[in-house]
Amino acid sequence: MQQERPFDLLNKMIGQKILIRLKNGIDIRGQMVSFDIHMNIVMDNAEELDGSELKAKLGTILLRGGNILFISPV
């Protein structure tokens, strides 16, 4: 049985709605557009959340991979 690699999982998330938590505790929700080998993530329709409440609409953003704590499908 072949194990799934991290980039395989990220490839499956392209076009999907995801939740990203940053190291500073900020949660960002939006549609994943692309990523690179450094886990930098481009998102469309991104929104900053405060708990489950919408705090700010961010639009299209680039998140630096070094600031990401985790990525989860929504």
d(Cα 41, Cα 38) in Å, to the nearest integer?
A: 9
Reported as type and span, the H/E element at residue 27 is strand 27-35
pLDDT the model gives residue 3: 84
pLDDT the model gives residue 52: 86
Whether pTM exceeds 0.75: yes
Q: In the chain, which residues have pLDDT < 50? A: none
pLDDT the model gives residue 61: 98
pLDDT the model gives residue 1: 67
Domain 6-73, classified CATH 3.40.1390.10, yes or no: no
Domain borders along the chain are: 6-73
Long-range pairs, 45-51, Cβ under 8 A, ≥24:
49/19
pLDDT the model gives residue 30: 98
